[in-house]
Structure 1
Amino acid sequence: MPPKKAVKEEKILLGRPGNNLKSGIVGLANVGKSTLFQAITKCTLGNPANFPYATINPEEARVIVPDERYDWLCDFYKPASKVPANLTVYDIAGLTRGASTGAGLGNAFLSHIRAVDAIFQVVRCFDDAQIIHVEGDVDPVRDLNIIGEELRIKDIEFVEKNLEALKKQTGRGGQSLEMKKLKEEQAIVESVLAWLQDGKDVRKGNWGTKEVVIINQLLLLTAKPVIYVVNMSEKDFIRQKNKYLPKVKAWIDENSPGDILIPLSVSFEDRLTRMSDEEAAKECADLKVKSMIGKLVVTMRKALNLGSFFTTGADEVRQWSIRMGTKAPQAAGVIHGDLEKTFIQALVVKYDDLKELGAEDKVKAAGKLLIKGKEYVMEDGDIVLFKAGAAKS
C-alpha cells in the first residue's frame, strides 16, 4: 500500500483569531501617548495634559491604512465609492509603578490592555522641565523595566489563579479522556508560569500548537506583539540624534529581541496635523525628514499579521483586512457570511499583473486570471471576484 500523505499541521498564531483586531497605545503617564493618538488618528479624541491620568477611559478611533496599491486602484478604476482599510487604535490610561497591585489606575489600565491585540509602547526620550515625569526624571530604560515588570506580574497573578482552578479539577483523579486533557492543560499552564517567573515575556517563547491554543485562552498581556515608539524632541528627531536612543536599542536587543523600534517626535507629528497636506509636505521637505505616522500604522498591521485583498470596479474599490493565511471561502465571509457558506470559486488577479499590463482584458488574455477553489490561501494584494451559489432560505 502506498504510504499515507503526512498531514501538514497549520501553525496557530498567538493572539485572538479574526480580522477586526485592535492596537493600544501604552506607556507611563506623561510620555506623549494621547498626543500621539491624536496625531495617528487625526482627531481630537484623547486628553493630552501635563499631569498623570489625564486619560482614564480608553479612547478609540479608526485609522486609514496608507497603501500605494489602493491609491493606484482608485486612480485606475475611478470608482463612485472608495473604502480603504483601517486599523482600530486605543489610547490607554498611563501606567505607573505598582499598577499590577492596583496603584494609580492600575487595574483599569491592565484590563484595557487585555482588550487589545497589540501594543504601541511609547517611551519618553526627551528632557523638558515643563512636562512632569511620573518617576521624577527621564530614564527610558527604567521606564521600560517598569512596564515590562508590571505586565509580567499581572500575567503571573492571572496564570496562578488559572493553575489553581485546574489543580482543583485534576485533584479529583481518574483516567477519563477529559481528565487526561485537563492534566495536559495543567502541564502547559505550569510551563507558561515558569517562563514568566523567569522574567521572560510569553510572546518570546517557542510554543507548540497545543501550547498556543491554551495561551490564547488566557489573553496574556505579555503574549501581545509590541512596537516600541521612542518619543524624542523635535530638535533631536530632525537632526536624527538622541542621547537615550542607543540605551533603548540595547535594552530591546537584550530583553525583546526582534521587536521593532520606531523613533519619532510626537510634538513634530502633532504640529504636522495642524497643517494642510501641502503645508505638511513642504515642512518635511524643508527639514529633510518624513512623518512616521504612516510607518507606525503599516508596521502595527504587519505585527497583527493582517494583510489585504481588494474588490474593484466602477462602483467601488474596497480594501478588506484579513489575517495572513486565510483561505478564500473565509475571505469571502469577511464581505458577507452567505458568500462563505455558498462559496464556489474565486477569480483572482495579482495586483502586479494588472499594474504591469494596464487592463483586465489584457490580464485575461495573458492567462493570468486565476481560478481558485476552497483551499486557496489568499495572498496580500489579491484582487478578487468571488463566485457563490444561491443562499438557502
Structure 2
Amino acid sequence: MEFVIKAIELANKAQRGGNPAVVKAKKEEIATAEKVLAWLEDGKRVANGQWTNSEIAIINTLTLLTAKPSVYIVNVSEEDYILGADDQGTQWMKEINQWVNDNSPGDRVVPVSIGLEARLAGLDQATVDAELKDLDTQSALPIAIQELRKALHLISYFTCGKDEVREWTIRKGTKAPQAAGIIHKDLEKTFILANVTKYDDLVAANGDDSVIKASGQLSQKGKDYVVEDGDVVHFKSAAARK
C-alpha cells in the first residue's frame, strides 16, 4: 500500500501549477490509485479486480505484487499426491482450495510432490516412465509449467527447417510481424506474410509439406494475423535495408 500512497502524493504534487493536460492525466492517476488503495485496504488482490484499460495502464506503473497473476504450487507427500491431492483429496488440500476460492478466485492450485519429483529426477527416462506407470500417476511438473504459462498468457509457435525445429515463446494476442521479431528484429520490419500450418495437421501428415499443401492445410496470413498456440510458421520478408 505504501507504493500506492506514494504515487498519490507524487501525482498531487505534479498537478499543481501544471497545464490542463497534465492536470487531467494526474487526476485520472489519483482516482485510479485511490480505487486501488481502497481495494487493498479490504484485503483484496488487485489482480482479481475489474479494471478498465486506462486503469490497467496506470496500475501497471505501480508495480504491485498483488496485480500479478498467481498459481499456487502446494507441496504434498508422495502418498497424498498419488491418491489425488486435489479438492477431492486430503483435508489439507480441501482447505487450501477453499482459501484460494475465497481470497483469490480463479487462481489455479497445483499439488506437487517434491519428494516424488526429486526421486524421479535421478532416474533415466525409461525408468521414470516405468515408475509412473507402476504408480498409476504422472509428474506434476508439466502441469505446473502449463498453468504458469496460462497465468502469464504465454503461448508457443514453431519454426521448422531441414536441420532443426525451434519453439518460440510469445504473449497471447501477438500478431505475426511481432512474432517474427522474436526471431530477429529485421523480420518484423520487413515482414511480408506468414505461411501457417497447425501442429496437429503437420503431425498427422508425418511432416510432409506436400501433403499439407495438397490438403489445403497451409494458409497465408498477413500483418493482422494473431499467432495461435501450436502454429508452425514460415515467415517471408523483404530484403533488410542497409
Matches within 5 A, 1:29-68: none
Asked if 1:387 corresponds to 2:236, the answer is yes
Q: Which has the higher contact order (CA 8 A, sep 6+)?
A: 1
Q: Secondary structure at the match of 1:207?
A: coil
**Corresponding residue for residue 76 of structure 2:** 232
- What is the distance in 2 between the residues matched to 1:244 and 1:236? 10
- What is the distance in 1 between the residues matched to 2:219 and 2:180? 16
Which runs of 5 or more residues in structure 2 are unaligned? none
**Corresponding residue for residue 296 of structure 1:** 144
- What is the distance in 1 between the residues matched to 2:205 and 2:78? 44
**Corresponding residue for residue 340 of structure 1:** 188
**Corresponding residue for residue 28 of structure 2:** 184
Match of 2:13 among 168, 173, 180: 168
Aligned residues: 237
**Corresponding residue for residue 149 of structure 1:** none
Superposed displacement of residue 354, structure 1: 2.1
Asked if 1:197 corresponds to 2:41, the answer is yes
Deviations 1:238-269 (A, max 9, x none): 33342311111111111111111111211111
Deviations 1:199-240 (A, max 9, x none): 100000111100111111111100111111121122322333
Asked if 1:214 corresponds to 2:62, the answer is no
Matches within 5 A, 1:143-154: none
- What is the distance in 2 between the residues matched to 1:320 and 1:211? 31
Q: Secondary structure at the match of 1:230?
A: strand
Q: Secondary structure at the match of 1:200?
A: coil
Superposed displacement of residue 175, structure 1: 5.5
Amino acid at match of 2:93: L
Superposed displacement of residue 173, structure 1: 4.6
- What is the distance in 2 between the residues matched to 1:190 and 1:379? 37
C-alpha contact (below 8 Å) 1:232/1:242 kept by paired residues: no
**Corresponding residue for residue 159 of structure 1:** 4
Amino acid at match of 1:384: V
Deviations 1:2-51 (A, max 9, x none): xxxxxxxxxxxxxxxxxxxxxxxxxxxxxxxxxxxxxxxxxxxxxxxxxx
Deviations 1:354-373 (A, max 9, x none): 23334211211222221111
**Corresponding residue for residue 367 of structure 1:** 216
TM-score by length of 2: 0.93
Amino acid at match of 1:370: S
Amino acid at match of 2:64: L
- What is the distance in 1 between the residues matched to 2:94 and 2:146? 24
C-alpha contact (below 8 Å) 1:225/1:303 kept by paired residues: yes
Amino acid at match of 1:369: L
Amino acid at match of 1:356: A
Percent identity (aligned) = 50
- What is the distance in 2 between the residues matched to 1:249 and 1:326? 33
**Corresponding residue for residue 122 of structure 2:** 274
- What is the distance in 1 between the residues matched to 2:133 and 2:216? 43
Q: Please report the RMSD computed on the Cα atoms of aligned residues, expressed in angstroms.
A: 1.4
Asked if 1:326 corresponds to 2:174, the answer is yes
- What is the distance in 1 between the residues matched to 2:233 and 2:154? 17
**Corresponding residue for residue 141 of structure 1:** none
- What is the distance in 2 between the residues matched to 1:225 and 1:348? 31
Match of 1:306 among 142, 154, 177: 154
- What is the distance in 2 between the residues matched to 1:357 and 1:220? 47
TM-score by length of 1: 0.58
Q: Secondary structure at the match of 2:217?
A: coil
C-alpha contact (below 8 Å) 1:345/1:374 kept by paired residues: yes
Asked if 1:251 corresponds to 2:96, the answer is no
- What is the distance in 2 between the residues matched to 1:274 and 1:377? 41
Q: Secondary structure at the match of 2:71?
A: strand
**Corresponding residue for residue 118 of structure 1:** none
Superposed displacement of residue 196, structure 1: 0.8
Which runs of 5 or more residues in structure 1 are unaligned? 1-155
Q: Secondary structure at the match of 1:244?
A: helix
**Corresponding residue for residue 226 of structure 2:** 377
Superposed displacement of residue 352, structure 1: 2.5
Amino acid at match of 2:216: G
- What is the distance in 2 between the residues matched to 1:343 and 1:308? 19
